[in-house]
Structure 1
Amino acid sequence: MNKKLFFSILLSGVLGAQTFSNTTLTAIPDNSTAGVISTIPVNLVKTISDPSKVTIKMDLTHTWCGDVTVGLVVPGGATSGAIALIKRLGSTTTTGIGSSVNFAAGNILAFNSAATAYVVPGTGGTNSSVPAGTYLPTVSSTLAPTDYTVANLTTLFTNLSVSGNWSLKLFDAAVGDTGSLNNWQVVFDEGTFLGVNTSIVSTPALSVLGNPFKETLNLKLNTSAKDVRFDIYSMEGKKVYSYQQSASKNASGDLTIPTESWSSGVYILSSVVNGEKMMTIKLIKK
């Protein structure tokens, strides 16, 4: 395998955002109780550790935003209904029709648990658009659809296994105005998952004691494993350290690696224990 390709695969899932997208234009049925569903399959076998690193982004078009409800269904979620991200914006009564402001293509609406603002459609009527931005889930006083419920995204995402189908369910509650879901994304930013960028990181092969580190990198090896091997790479893909426990038994499990000659920056530790590849670990040299 090409060395650069191998290293890019090694880094995938550890550094940078991982984005899963559905770019299929999906019409929202007008005045339909059935609505429509758009799905993104996520093939990561990982668990969310930091819910603030998860963002749902969508690009909507609709000529009357108050008609529209958009709900999120996560893997293992309810088979009916959804968690409301948007529900009949601008309605102030239980049967209200909501704001006449439109959703404009290209005005990306992002939903994240760390956001501090709700979606405010504005007062410009059909001549204005819901502004792009990062928001908390936003619902109005309108009751229907009753199975699109409100949820705290922090609670929803914490310890959630991300593998499986993520879906948006879209519902248009009134006749006359139409629109579509142009595209949408599920974004897992760096630090979303367990075992990334923590002060003590562990796998069945080893534990990193102190991360970031300065002049030395201290590890605790799994001495009960018959075969522990690992390599450490710079961000340029250069191997800076290699270790094989079966060839150099370490009775105590303590391993101190001098790093004075290493440049400050990010390194990747890739380990194999008893023939099984473990999760890669991001190391930071100060």
Structure 2
Amino acid sequence: MPDPKLCLEALEALSGCQIQSTTGASQMTPQDFVNIVALREFYKQAGFKELEYESIGTLSLQDFDDRDLYSSPPALCQGPEASLKPVVKINLQNFFHPEFDFDFTHVKDGDKKFLRGNEEYIRPCGWDRAALRVAQQYDGGDQWLGTGTSAWPVSYHGQGMDGSLGIILTREGKPDDAPQFLEACAASLIRDETRGRGVYSTPDIKLAEQYCKQFTSKVDGRRYKVLLQNRINPQSRKPCNREGLWLVYIPENSTDVKTKAIVQESLRPYGLLLKLA
């Protein structure tokens, strides 16, 4: 497992919370964490200033890390902006699952092909993965986490992905209709109703890396990239006109409860990915 303190910093960079280790009960599970990361980005794009989450309270959606607080003078780090970040305590033993860690830093797959749920799995070569403890945490067993036909496909979440990236493909038709439909979609980019409203992820690790969060570590002074590795419910995602982009669509006028439920039923995290920037 990467340095636990480094993992805590990575969680903090993604969530906008102050993450601290505890030997007691965790305030959030890995599922809570992906919910917070996804909802934080979604509500921020929608123009909201705060997010309410039951186990944490009020979370500011202002992105203080644009200025990289870790490299700021101590006096700035202890200012009012730091106090806007809620303190969240997690038990490392209950949150991470080192038995399933995998360091892909020096792995090169070349032409090798891997499948998850009969769909291509592009492994995160070049990244170090800290596994999250998610086995036996969901109703219906762990088939979603497996490698067989009932497994959910792998997706990567980059925090900077938003509705400007893709247009939802909603029309049903024959495969040979696709080129004409894509042209029609491209021509309608200026229409708000064609933009994807929801949470984006991608099966392409290189695309995700373009939108990943970065932070400077207090552990070793180096700068890191961080991503979440998830499984996505194949019944929940919608394809977009841009190849390799998936959307968990959140309908207009969805309540906060409904929005959270959609995310929770669609995205399940299982890895925290770190890479030197």
- Tell me the TM-score normalised to structure 1 length: 0.22
Larger C-alpha radius of gyration, 1 or 2?
1
The structure richer in helix per residue is 2
